[in-house]
């Protein structure tokens, strides 16, 4: 019986010493914390990139709508201008679907320009046609 007790006591003391010894834990903690901080940083950067692309596409839509609403231009010219701006700033993949039409907004003639583009999820790769922005501009005339 004493032999078993001393063996159990010996195992317990070795386990306590192993648990109390924190040697070698610094590299593990560094890897765990470093991984979390890296993922957090990459997530914030990706969010910033997504917001930037959305703002560029929206500003291009506004510019295209106002250009299409000019008295001496056509709707196609507004779509072309939007496509040029988006292609020049973030790439041709983000100017795939652009719709322009005349509408009566609040009782006045207006141009409505809608851009459907890729929402960047990982870098510039993302979900196609997941982002949609619409811009309006009052139609000008020579009258």
Range of the domain at 64: 27-138
Residue 33 is assigned to a structural domain of this protein: yes
Q: Which tops the pLDDT comparison, 126 or 63?
A: 63
Residues 86 and 62 sit within 8 Å (Cβ to Cβ): no
What mean pLDDT do residues 96-110 have? 88
Strand segments, DSSP code E, in 54-124 are 97-105, 108-122
Contact 100, 122 (CB under 8 A): no
Question: Residue 82: which of 115, 126, 116 has the closest Cα?
Answer: 115
The total of structural domains in the chain comes to 1
Classify residue 111: in a domain, yes or no.
yes
CA-based radius of gyration for the chain: 30
- Would 83 be classed as within a structural domain? yes
- Give how far Cα 40 sits from Cα of 32, 54, 86, Å: 12, 21, 29
Tell me, what's the pLDDT at 18?
66
The mean pLDDT of 4-31, rounded to a whole number, is: 74
**Residue 4 has what pLDDT?**
72
Average pLDDT, the chain: 87
- pLDDT value at residue 75: 92
pLDDT (average), residues 87-98: 88
Residue 41 falls within a domain, yes or no? Answer: yes
List, for residues 27-86, the tens digit of each pLDDT value. Answer: 888 899 999 999 999 999 999 999 999 999 999 999 999 999 998 889 999 999 999 999
Residue 19 lies in a domain: no
User: Is the per-residue pLDDT at 21 higher than 90?
Assistant: no
pLDDT reported for residue 17: 74
- Residue 104, domain member (yes or no): yes
pLDDT computed for residue 111 by the predictor? 94
Count of other CB atoms within 10 angstroms of residue 132: 14
Whether 119 is in a domain gets the answer yes
């Amino acid at each position: 019986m004493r032999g078993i007790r001393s063996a159990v006591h010996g195992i317990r003391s070795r386990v306590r010493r192993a648990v109390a010894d924190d040697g070698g834990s610094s590299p593990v903690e560094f890897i765990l914390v470093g991984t979390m901080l890296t993922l957090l940083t990459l997530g914030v950067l990706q969010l910033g990139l997504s917001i930037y692309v959305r703002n560029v596409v929206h500003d291009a839509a506004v510019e295209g709508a106002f250009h299409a609403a000019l008295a001496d231009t056509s709707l196609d010219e507004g779509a072309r201008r939007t496509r040029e701006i988006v292609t020049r700033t973030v790439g041709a993949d983000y100017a795939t679907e652009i719709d322009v039409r005349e509408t009566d907004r609040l009782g006045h003639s207006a141009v409505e320009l809608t851009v459907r583009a890729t929402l960047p999820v990982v870098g510039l790769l993302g979900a196609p046609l997941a982002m949609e922005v619409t811009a309006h501009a009052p139609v000008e005339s020579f009258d």
